[in-house]
Amino acid sequence: MAAADILTLKPAGLYCAAGDFFIDPLRPVPRALITHAHSDHARAGHGHVLATAETLAIMAIRYGENFAGATQAVRYGEALTISGVEVGFFPAGHVLGSAQIRLVQGRARIVVSGDYKREPDPTCPTFEPLACDTFISEATFGLPVFRNADAAGEIGKLLASQKLFPERTHLVGAYPLGKAQRIIALLRQAGYDRPVYIHGALEKITAYYQRAGIALGDVRMAAGAGALPGEIVLCPPGAINDLWSRHFAEPRAAFASGWMRVRAHARQRGIELPLVISDHADWDGLCATVEETQCSTLLVTHGEPDALVHCFRQRGLEAAPLHILGYGDEEAETPTETDA
Amino acid sequence: MNRFAALLDSLAYEPSRLGKLRLMTGYFRAVGDPDRGFALAALTGTLSFRHAKPALVRTLIYERIDPVLFDLSYDFVGDLSETVALLWPGDHDKSGSHTPRLAEVIATLDAASKLELPGVLARLLDALDETGRWALLKLITGALRVGVSARLAKQAVAELGGYDANAIEDLWHGLAPPYLDLFAWLEGREPRPRPHDSAPFCPAMLAHALTERELEDLAPADFCAEWKWDGIRVQAAVGIGEGGKIIRLYSRTGEEISAAFPDLTEMLARVPHARFSLDGELLILRTGRVQSFGVLQQRLNRKQVTAALLADFPAHIRAYDLLGLEGEDLRALPFAERRRKLEAFVAAAGVERLDLSPQVAFASWDFLAAARRDPAAAGAGADAAAIEGVMLKRRDSIYVPGRPKGLWYKWKRDPFAVDAVLMYAQRGHGKRSSFYSDFTFGLWRAGNDGDELVPVGKAYFGFTDDELRLLDRYVRNHTTNRFGPVREVTHMPDEGLVLEIAFEGVNHSSRHKSGVAMRFPRISRIRWDKPAREADRLETLERLIAD
Ligand SMILES: [Zn+2]
Ligand SMILES: [Zn+2]
């Protein structure tokens, strides 16, 4: 049985007919398997949702307890069968609870990567490469210009800037789910022991990470804490140039994102201190991962699929872009939580 | 090279003018000779080594990276130097190897012959890290674009000695990289270098755009008016050097363009004055009539100055200010007095290719507004097509470099406007490379199967950042086709986006499918409200063609 028979593309997203479920559907469906809780993958209103306990918990924080008719938690590596299709969730290393989903039917194995990265991350388990026939990979940063810098080195830049401008508040734009908590954890790994301040939009998810056992040290709300000269304040990217930022002492605008690799992206947003820290695989990570899966067919979603498709066609794979309209990248759009 | 690359890198991210000044002054203070002098030369665009064409840079990278991957990357990044710097292979540990200094890099490039250049450039790129490669490529392709004008760089270096940029400007044309004498003076180690250029560039005085509201507060009697010509602003400077007369033609920014206009330098040589400096408009005149900017553009586009070019596109200077005469600096005199001296100067010169920009007499702003609307009726006659408005200059204004407030105003003619339909969009370059910001628009005309849209132009600006975001989203949500970096956007009678396009004029064009080319088109309004079928027709544009 070919992979195409297991998964097809419908307007609502990737659909498995044999199991009658969707993966990361874009609109409400009766049954959904969800890779991770970023809003472009995890939407509210499905009949039944299967995901990791962490993903379900974060969805409940974002959308309210009744975000789905029914939910079912799955552990990494747990074997499940849905109408004859074997289903497994495996760490994707993207954010807390993020998973790749593997489907096996007969002899065909297909892996949907969700979003993933290969670098170690103190806030979530590391990506596990899975052997498969068809690999559906994201390619948010699917161009050879994207090479993630060493995250510790980027944190070093932030700390150096803090030393250089001890009178200025360092506002660090970071996505509220995953990136913000990873930055705090990286600061702690670098030995930074002052309080880290956060924007209100980061509060609930950060508290959830702490409850889940991720050590983040002394995290405080920026609201009501004054102008915070010399301190590090994390906020959603959209808040950097918001009215909100004017409370602070000569704020210095930093942004932690893979996009910071390209100058134009930093300049466009008025960023003075770009930090290349990404929760997505960079070009080398994408290429290595495709190799490791030993797949014969590669389908590419998200972002910039063309380069990866070109590259692996040359290496003899069947490769094609998979245009799923509506999958943005959680990093490209300014999250709506900014106003929270 | 590392310090210089780091300077460029931080300048590129620094949004404020003050911050940029501080970064540059800090650099000039911290870095020694001769590197800082070469850095100053790079920032002011006065380095003279052989520039590499973008094509050479592409050839080098194509030899090292899969061209398909390079092209996709370049389309995304939008900047050739940055793309190549990011993709150049072998960014391994460079700690042991020698990183060349800026002065070395420049000496190496200076010494390289055209044939050697590719090899030399490749070896330099191998020796540098990512930021260093980026800076080198910016330098060698002659496009630093870090948001620093030559003026700002001079300001920064002037601050070493607590001076103003004008103090540097007065000396500038007598100095050469690496400016050892300049730095020595600024740091108080040596006396001020003597300006030995007797035909220097005087930094130009610029006008503010006038709004009608401001007009209410201005008294007509305080101002002189003249036509605003649609040519290029030039400064002609003549002086005496060791080898005889020095004749220079400068652009508005002080770039020397004499070589492209032998017809003008020959004219300037015949003026019976040994030393003078005048400000005027460079125009093309045919049988006494000023030609449109489109005609001037054709001459400016030609690299080779041939006899045929000189005959077909005779250049001319229409003078409007006299800045110096026989060693006397006239810039501190009131405009009205300079004008009298200019009139006498032009009359006495008695040469072809040089005349006086006439003044427009007026008693009220209403009268002047009418003249601006219809220059032909107000005395400009057949030259009216080359007039883009009027200039107002305070009678008592001295000649101040830069754009001083309240002295000179430009009051442009209202632009033309049509409603067009968005047809294609392309990602911008540089700062806007992640946005669809280059828009091709079209007008209706009769086709074989009813009305069809024909593309008539492209616009890259006119919109605010917020509007750009909306346009970008519109393009992404209404894409019907993709051709590489270009997206085709829905453009049907019942579905399509109407853009109000403002422009300065229309010319015939055989290169455009529509047969017309618009001048300086920009998006003046997004007509979210207007159905595509109600957009304008090509005939509207054709009627506006000025011959
Ligand atoms: Zn994600
Ligand atoms: Zn995603």
Do A131 and A108 fall into the same domain? yes
Which residues of chain B does CATH 2.40.50.140 include?
Answer: 416-546
Q: What's this model's pTM, rounded to 2 decimal places?
A: 0.66
Beta strands A85-91 and A99-105 are: antiparallel
A198, two tokens:
């956060």
Nearest to A144 among B12, B87, B430 (CB): B87
CA distance B239 to B255: 17
Of the residues A275, A299, A328, which one is the last residue of a structural domain? A275
**CB-based contact B394:B223 (threshold 8 Å):** yes
Which residues of chain B does CATH 3.30.470.30 include?
Answer: 208-412
CA distance B442 to B304: 35
Do A315 and A212 fall into the same domain? no
Shortest-distance ligand to the CA of residue A137: 2
CATH H superfamily, domain B2-141: DNA ligase, ATP-dependent, N-terminal domain (1.10.3260.10)
**Which domain covers residue A307, as residue numbers?**
3-145+279-338
Residue B154, CA distances (Å) to B37, B148, B186, B201 in order:
11, 10, 12, 14
Do A299 and A213 fall into the same domain? no
Residue A171, CA distances (Å) to A240, A274, B264 in order:
7, 11, 57
B431 touches A: beta carbon within 8 Å: yes
Which residues of chain B does CATH 1.10.3260.10 include?
Answer: 2-141
A53 three-class SS: helix
Q: Is the pLDDT of residue A326 over 70?
A: no
In the prediction, which pLDDT does A11 show? Answer: 86
Do A258 and A302 fall into the same domain? no
| CA A139 to centroid of ligand 2, rounded, Å | 9
Query: Tell me, what CATH number does A333's domain have?
Result: 3.60.15.10
Number of Cβ within 10 Å of residue B7's Cβ equals 25
Do A110 and A72 fall into the same domain? yes
**CB-based contact B274:B238 (threshold 8 Å):** yes
- Residue that wins the pLDDT comparison between B217 and A282: A282
CATH architecture of the domain B208-412 equals: 2-Layer Sandwich (3.30)
Do A213 and A163 fall into the same domain? yes
CA distance B180 to B177: 8
Do A47 and A113 fall into the same domain? yes
The residues, any chain, with a CB within 8 Å of residue B198's CB and separated by 6 or more, are: B239, B240, B241, B246, B275
A13: nearest Cα among A331, A329, A326, A333: A326
B86 touches A: beta carbon within 8 Å: yes
- The nearest CA of chain B is from the CA of A147 a distance in Å of 9
Beta strands B315-325 and B354-356 are: parallel
**CB-based contact B2:B31 (threshold 8 Å):** no
Q: Tens digit of pLDDT per residue, chain B (547 long)?
A: 889 999 998 898 887 788 899 889 999 999 999 999 999 999 988 887 777 888 899 999 999 999 999 999 998 888 899 999 999 987 655 555 678 899 999 989 888 888 899 999 999 999 998 899 999 999 888 777 788 888 899 999 999 999 988 888 878 877 888 999 999 999 998 888 876 677 888 888 988 878 767 788 899 999 999 999 989 999 999 998 777 888 999 988 777 889 899 999 999 999 999 899 999 999 999 998 999 887 888 888 787 899 999 999 999 999 999 999 998 889 989 999 999 999 999 999 999 999 999 999 998 998 998 888 888 888 888 888 889 899 999 999 999 888 888 899 988 877 788 899 999 999 876 556 678 889 999 999 998 888 999 999 999 888 888 888 889 989 988 888 877 678 899 999 888 999 999 887 788 887 788 888 888 888 988 888 788 988 999 988 888 775 4
Of the residues A237, A252, A275, which one is the last residue of a structural domain? A275
Do A136 and A233 fall into the same domain? no
Shortest-distance ligand to the CA of residue A93: 1
CATH code for the part of the protein at B416-546: 2.40.50.140
Do A134 and A90 fall into the same domain? yes
The three-point CA angle A15-A16-A21 to 5° equals 80
What's the structural domain count of chain A? Answer: 2
In the prediction, which pLDDT does B546 show? Answer: 57
Cis peptide before B178 (omega within 30 of 0): yes
What spatial distance separates the first Cα and last Cα of chain B, rounded to whole Å?
53
Do A169 and A249 fall into the same domain? yes
Q: What pLDDT band is residue A332 in, cutting at 50, 70 and 90? A: very low
Residues of chain A in contact with residue B73, where contact means CB-CB under 8 angstroms, are 143-145, 307
B399: nearest Cα among B319, B318, B317, B323: B323
Query: Tell me, what CATH number does A175's domain have?
Result: 3.40.50
Nearest to B432 among A266, A268, A273 (CB): A268
- The nearest CA of chain B is from the CA of A320 a distance in Å of 16
| CA A301 to centroid of ligand 1, rounded, Å | 12
Beta strands A108-112 and A99-105 are: antiparallel
| CA A59 to centroid of ligand 2, rounded, Å | 15
| CA A181 to centroid of ligand 2, rounded, Å | 18
Do A34 and A182 fall into the same domain? no
Do A16 and A133 fall into the same domain? yes
CA distance A30 to B498: 41
Shortest-distance ligand to the CA of residue A332: 2
Of the residues A275, A291, A311, which one is the last residue of a structural domain? A275
- The nearest CA of chain A is from the CA of B28 a distance in Å of 19
Nearest to A145 among B86, B434, B435 (CB): B86
CA distance B90 to B127: 10
In the prediction, which pLDDT does B95 show? Answer: 54
